[in-house]
Structure 1
Amino acid sequence: MKKSFLALSIIISSIFSQTAIADPKTPGTQTGYSSADLLAKGVPSDINTVSVEALAKELKGKPAMTVGFDIDDTVLFSSPVFYRGQQEFSPGGYSYLSNQQFWDKANCGWDAFSQPKTIASKLIAMHQARGDDIYFITARTPSDCDFMTNYIKKTFDINQMHDVIFSGSSKDAYLKAPYIKQHNIKIYYGDSDGDIISARQAGAEGIRIMRAANSSYKLLPKNGLYGERVVLDSQY
Structure 2
Amino acid sequence: MKIFHYSAVVTILATALSCNLYASPKEPYTQAGFDTRTAEKQQAPIHWVSVEQIKASLSGKPPMNVSFDIDDTVLASSGCFYYGKQKYSPNDFSYLKNQNFWDEINAGCDKYSIPKEVARELIKMHQERGDQIFFITGRTAGKDDQVTPLLAKTFNIKNVHPVNFMGGHGQEVLKTKYNKAAGILKHHVQLHYGDSDDDILAAKEAGIRGIRILRATNSTYLPFPQAGGYGEEVIINSSY
Normalising by structure 2, we get a TM-score of 0.77
Amino acid at match of 2:49: V
Distance in 1 of aligned mates of 2:141 and 2:151: 16
Residue 147 of structure 1, CA deviation: 0.4
Larger radius of gyration: 2
Are the counterparts in 2 of residues 111 and 148 from structure 1 also a CA contact under 8 Å?
yes
Deviation at 1:45, TM superposition (A): 5.7
Instruction: Find out whether 1:208 has 2:212 as its counterpart.
Output: yes
Q: Distance in 1 between the 2:121 and 2:113 partners?
A: 17
One-letter identity of the residue aligned with 2:93: Y
Unmatched 5+ stretches in structure 2: 1-39
* Cross-structure match for 1:60: 59
* Aligned-pair CA distance for 1:203: 1.4
User: Quick one: distance in 1 between partners of 2:145 and 2:95?
Assistant: 21
Partner of 1:79: 78
Q: How many residues align?
A: 195
What's the CA shift string for 1:81-120, capped at 9, x where partnerless? Answer: 0011011111232111111111111101111111101100
In structure 2, C-alpha distance between the alignment counterparts of 1:173 and 1:213, rounded to whole Å: 28
Q: Distance in 2 between matches of 1:198 and 1:221?
A: 15
* 3-state secondary structure, aligned to 1:68: strand
SS at 2:204 equivalent? helix
**How far apart, CA to CA, are the structure 2 residues paired with 1:45 and 1:160?**
40
Q: Provide the secondary structure at the position in 1 that maps to 2:133.
A: strand
Q: Would you say 1:88 and 2:87 are equivalent positions?
A: yes
CA distance in 2, matches of 1:96, 1:178: 24
RMSD of the alignment, in Å? Answer: 1.9
The corresponding residue for 1:161 is: 160
Within 5 Å, give how 1:1-236 maps onto structure 2: 44=43, 46-168=45-167, 173-236=177-240
Q: C-alpha displacement at 1:146, in angstroms?
A: 2.2
The runs of 5 or more residues in structure 1 that have no matched partner are 1-40
Amino acid at match of 1:102: F
Give the counterpart letter for 1:208 in structure 2. Answer: R
Q: Percent identity?
A: 51
Query: Is the CA contact (8 Å cut-off) linking 1:181 and 1:203 kept in structure 2?
Result: no
Calculate the TM-score normalised by the size of structure 1. Answer: 0.79
What code does the residue aligned with 1:119 have? V
- The separation in 2 between residues aligned to 1:64 and 1:111, in whole angstroms, is 29
- Kept in 2, the 8 Å contact 1:213–1:220? The answer is no
- Determine the C-alpha separation between the residues in 2 that align with 1:218 and 1:105: 22
Partner SS state of residue 190, structure 2: strand
CA distance 1:221–1:45, shift in 2 (3 Å): closer
